[in-house]
Amino acid sequence: MGAAMSAVRDDGQDEQGDRYEWPRPPTDGWTADDLDRLPDLPPHTELIDGSLVFMSPQADFHMATLRLLEHGLISCASKELYVVRGMSIRLDKRNRPEPDLMVVPRAARKGARQTWYEPEGLLLIVEIVSPDSEARDREVKPLKYARAGIPHFWRVENVNDAPVVYVYELDPATRTYAVTGIHHKQLKLDRPFAVDIDLTDVF
């Protein structure tokens, strides 16, 4: 739906006057494989509990924070690790979220046509909270990531137009996350690898 969806008017017609047909979900919901089969889905469509979730346009804060953290992680990660943006994780048949950033083993890359990663071996997930994604990023997705066994999770909040990073680590016995730090100006960690990012550089 990319450009086509953005051109659909309130009356359900596109700019050429043709009636736009929204995807009609199966009675038992969409599956992870459907994301690769449905034509013209908008960029960054996620699957949460069998429902398609479309991303709203992002503010400059989100873009700038994403770029800062992506470049910081790339500069800090070893050559055996790969920083990913714009791709999804296949958690199970009904859940295929797309985090803002992931750090995966470089060996997890399967080729040029790959569209998703398995949770096994995935090291870190980063979600930057937006107004339309607060419940998903704070509650729904972290719970699913923890249950999938992903060891490290960062949630980034906009506090007075500055990024604040909440750092979580997995308790493997309970498959839940515990907060290990809240970082306002400097993100300096030694797990999952040595990281040192000046958060004030966002603008």
Res 25: pLDDT: 76
Report which residue type is found at 36.
D
- Domain ranges within the chain, ordered by starting residue: 60-202
> What's the pLDDT tens digit per position in 127-152?
999 999 999 999 999 999 999 999 99
What span, in angstroms and rounded, lies between the C-alpha atoms of 30 and 7?
A: 24
> What's the pLDDT tens digit per position in 85-138?
999 999 999 999 999 999 999 999 999 999 999 999 999 999 999 999 999 999
Retrieve residue 114's tokens.
């790959």
Is there a contact between 14 and 20 (Cβ–Cβ < 8 Å)? yes
**Residue 78: pLDDT over 70:** yes
> What's the pLDDT tens digit per position in 3-15?
333 333 444 454 5
Using the 8-state DSSP alphabet, how is residue 22 labeled?
A: P
Domain 60-202: state its class. Answer: alpha beta
Model's pTM, two decimal places? Answer: 0.86
Sign of CA dihedral 82, 156, 89, 68: negative
